[in-house]
Chains A and B, each alone.
Chain A
Amino acid sequence: MASTDEELVARSQGGDLDSFNQLVVRWERPIYALAYRTIGREEDARDVCQETFLRAFRALKGFKGQAKFSSWLYRITLNLCRDWIRRERRQPIAQAPEGVDLVELASEQTPTETIEDLVARKEISQAVARIMAELPEEQRTAILLKEYHGLTFQEIADMLDCPLSTVKTRLYQGLHVLRRQLGREGVGRNHV
């Protein structure tokens, strides 16, 4: 049976590197996904992902388990992303190709999906990436943590140090902007 995060953290704090590396394997994809969706650059997201684990490793002794280990990692990632955005002095980038490569698309096709559905999905994906990149940081973060990482409202509020109602308001505002912008671009399920 696989060890829980708490067990692995405890063993890592005792100096067991293998346990820490198991945590890395378990969480590297979600952490990378959060970094990528926040800053929009593959290579920089990889760097942020690695730096997150290095910082977590160095600060592990000080982690007392008040929050979940994953929430702690997410917080480190978001801080690093914020530093990146500040350093680069720019908005996150929606890294989406202009054209649609049908050959490349075919490799992503699910068995039940027609090529038309696939092209539509790609268009939606690109539009979502673009609109998300333009959202205010706090709205984007609320959507990312809720939609893609399944955190509870309370966990998000704790992580962002803000009231529960603020998290819900930011989420609502972000979703509202997405709905409006997708509508303007004429893409998405609301416009089928």
Chain B
Amino acid sequence: MCDKERLVSYLYDDLGDAERVMFETHLRECAECRDELSALRGVRADLISWSPPQPDFGFRVVREPKVLPFQPRSWRAWLTPAAGLAAAAVLVLAAAAAIAHVEIRRGPGGVTVRTGWSAFAPGSGGSEGGMTPQSQVRQASAPAVSNAIDPAALAALERRINVLEASAHDASGVRNASMLSARSSDAEILRRVRELLAQSETKQQGQLALRVAQVLRDVEAQRVADLSRIQQGMRGIEASVSAEAQGHRELTNYILASSKQK
């Protein structure tokens, strides 16, 4: 029985000089070991062909910001840069909301966030009844100006078109094929406009939610960092106040002692 461990060592060039010479002498005499060595070299060559995929690695270790436990402080502690920053952030959010005309509604279908200026929004001052159908269509087809259309307004528009068509029909007394096709094409345009508006609204809601989340995350990170700085500062102040108080105490004791002596 030949020494397989030695065969493996020879296969991986892991024998010392003397051992290698001895094993090569053995190889010249042993056909079985020669064949096996040759076959195992072939297997090693086959193993090379098995390569793993090459994924894109983006993994890096980053340090987490330290989150210190919350410690209640007196109201003076809140008159700090952190409070100022938080107030500024709230102001920025409020200004952004005002500019974007953010409208949040709670309805049976859940909470709706709407942005943009809409002539049809309740309380916006637009007189729905006073508008002609033409002006309504013009506004609805300008999403840059108005990207939120009240479904009630659209329904009113549709009703108005129907009334106009009906009156035209009464006047002529004839319902011809061209009227029918015009009506169906109007309905199609309305449907399309409604779809486009719905898409635009959904997209804007998503973007707004994303931006609000980003701002909130930034504010939170800044708040944590500022709190950490404040706590460090307070510790420093406490230390210096304590040292000062100690000095005062010593001075008072000294004055008392010298007045007693007198």
Contact = CB atoms under 8 A, between A and B. Distances in A.
B198 interface: no
Contact of A175 (B40, B53, B61, B63): B40
Contact of A171 (B8, B39, B51, B57): B8
A32 B57 CA distance: 10
A128 B55 contact: no
Contacts of A128: 46-47, 49-50
B43 A146 contact: no
Range class of the A interface residue count: 35 or more
Contacts, number: 95
A190 B202 CA distance: 63
A190 B61 contact: no
Contacts of B62: 17
Interface string B11-52: 010100000000000000000000000011011111101111
Interface stretch (A42-50, A64-72, A77-85, A98-106): A42-50
Contact of B43 (A25, A32, A122, A188): A188
Given A128-B47, A188-B46, A190-B39, A50 B5 contact: no
A137 interface: no
B262 interface: no
A183 to B, nearest CB: 9
Given A125-B50, A172-B8, A21 B60 contact: yes
B12 A146 contact: yes
A-side binding surface: helix, strand, loop or mixed? helix
Range class of the B interface residue count: 20 to 34
Interface string A85-105: 000000000000000000000
Given A24-B60, A42-B55, A168 B9 contact: yes
Contacts of A147: 44, 47
B73 interface: no
Given A32-B55, A36-B53, 20 more contacts: A17-B63, A33-B52, A37-B50, A53-B61, A125-B51, A146-B12, A148-B47, A153-B12, A153-B14, A168-B8, A168-B9, A172-B5, A172-B7, A176-B40, A178-B47, A179-B39, A179-B43, A189-B42, A190-B42, A190-B46
6 contacts: A17-B61, A29-B57, A46-B55, A124-B50, A153-B12, A175-B40
Interface of B: 4-5, 7-9, 12, 14, 39-40, 42-47, 49-55, 57, 59-63
